[in-house]
Structure 1
C-alpha cells in the first residue's frame, strides 16, 4: 500500500498581520490542513534567506513567507525588503537543487483569516504536486 506524500510547510509570518489572520482562521474554525508550522516574526523583512534554505535542507518541503500588504507594514518598508529578498532567493535556489516553487511570498492582512486558510491550503496542494524534496537527501546539514 502506497502512502500519500504529506508535505511539511514552515511559515514565517508577520506578527502584525499574517499571524493575527492565522489566529482568526483558527478561532473561526476555518478548514485548514495541519501541515504548517508557524514561526512568528516581527516583520517579514527579518526573514533571512539563510533561514529559508536551512529550513528546506533540514526537513521542510516548502516555506511560506507572509506579511502585511505592501504599504501597510508596521515597520514602513519591511515587506518591500522581503519581496526583494525572495526574488533573489528564487534565483539561487536552483543552485541548491531546490525548485523555486517551494518558496512562496504572500500578503495577508490581519482581518483576512479566510485568505490565510486558503493560502495555506493552496500552498500545501502545490507542494504535494511538486513532491518530496530530492535535494535534502544530498545535503550535509
Structure 2
C-alpha cells in the first residue's frame, strides 16, 4: 500500500481533485484515526463532513462531477450500525441510483464510489482512499459536463 500511495503523490496530483462526503459519526472518525495513526494517504481528497449519509442529497455527487471534480467518494457507517438507525440504508438506495444515472449524462461511473468505514477502521480508510485515488489518477482529469454538450 505504501508504494502505491507514494506513486500517486508523485504524479500530477495538483490537477486532480476528489471530494469526499463523510458521515460525522463513523467515516470522519475513520479518517481521523488514519491521520492520528499517521497512515500514508494520497493528498487528492478534500473532505466534507455531513451529519449522516442518509441526509446527503444525491445531486451533490452529480453537481460535483458535472462541474469537473475528478472523483466523488461517499462514506458512512456500516449497515445496521448507523447512529440514526437507518440513514445508511436510505443512502445506499439513493447512491446506487446515482451510480446508474451517471453514464446517461456522459460521466464515467467509476469516478463515483460509496463505501462503509467505521471510526475504528483507520487502516481500511487508508486502503479505500489509496485505491480510489489510484483509479482517479489512472482515469485522468474529468472533462465535466461541458465536454459532452454540443
TM-score (normalised: structure 1)? 0.91
2:118 to 109, 114, 138: 109
**RMSD over equivalenced CA pairs, Å:** 1.7
* Consecutive unaligned residues in structure 2, runs of 5 or more: 1-9
Identify the match of residue 132 of structure 1 among 134, 138, 141: 141
- Tell me how far apart the structure 1 counterparts of residues 147 and 59 of structure 2 sit (CA, whole Å): 18
In 2: Cα distance, 1:24 partner to 1:90 partner:
28
Q: SS state of the match for residue 22, structure 2? A: strand
* Equivalent residue pairs, number: 138
With normalisation by structure 2, the TM-score equals 0.85
Tell me how far apart the structure 2 counterparts of residues 5 and 87 of structure 1 sit (CA, whole Å): 30
Cα drift, residue 137 of structure 1: 3.8
Q: Which runs of 4+ in 1 moved over 6 A?
A: none
Distance in 2, matches of 1:32 and 1:81, equals: 29
1:23 to 32, 36, 44: 32
Contact 1:9/1:63 (<8 A) preserved: yes
Q: Which residue of 2 aligns with 1:69?
A: 78
d(CA) in 1 for partners of 2:96, 2:51:
21
